[in-house]
Structure 1
Amino acid sequence: MTESMRPRVYGADHDDPDPWPKAGRTYATLHGGPLDGLLVDVTDCPPAELAEGGALITEVGAYGPGGRAVYGPADPTALLAWHWEGDTP
């Protein structure tokens, strides 16, 4: 897989030379919305928090810089696939 096809990790700086997943870490994949295709490191999240998802800061959502994109699992049995639920300030 070429680097242009590898999923990047949410929160990595745009100029990070290694914005890819790290061995030994667990990631949720973001589906839809402004962060589509990125991975979120959920290694230290308890299952209850994984089931809630999260509001992730983004500059490209409906509320511009500082706004958040809300993601959560669409299926409680698939906690590592988070789907976009909308944007919030």
Structure 2
Amino acid sequence: MSDGAGRRVYGADPGDPAAGPELGHVYVELMGGPLDGQLLDVTGWTSEERAVGALLIAPRGAYGPGGRADYAPAPGDADHRFHWEGDTP
């Protein structure tokens, strides 16, 4: 994956000038769904944790604020991308 310059990291405030990726961190790109295009910091995640994916708070998902977006590793590209699987309350 590219260095992510100019991309927003999941969990950072949109207006925060430090919302981009940090050197020395590992990120996957979120593809599709309400968090499309954001980077998820997976620094320190084990390969087992990455294989499971993540349920992430998504303020604009199907269940509104507090709902979760389910992202799973992309087949064949789990080290770089997580694809949206759907929303859950």
The TM-score, its normalising length taken from structure 2, stands at 0.88
Deviation at 1:16, TM superposition (A): 1.4
Trace 1:7-46 onto structure 2 (pairs within 5 A).
7-46=7-46
Which residue does the alignment assign to 2:80? Answer: 80
Deviation at 1:58, TM superposition (A): 1.0
Trace 1:47-66 onto structure 2 (pairs within 5 A).
47-66=47-66
Structure 1: any 5+ residue segments left out of the alignment? none
Q: Rate the CA distance shift 1:13–1:77 in 2: closer, same or farther, 3 A.
A: closer
Distance in 1, Cα, partners of 2:68 & 2:78: 22
8 Å Cα contact 2:50-2:78 kept in structure 1: no
What percentage of aligned pairs have identical amino acids? 55
One-letter code of the match for 1:33?
G
- Helix, strand or coil for the counterpart of 1:51? helix
Distance in 2, Cα, partners of 1:77 & 1:8: 20
Deviation at 1:72, TM superposition (A): 0.8
**Which structure 1 residue ranges, 4+ long, deviate > 2 Å from structure 2?**
76-80
8 Å Cα contact 1:51-1:79 kept in structure 2: no
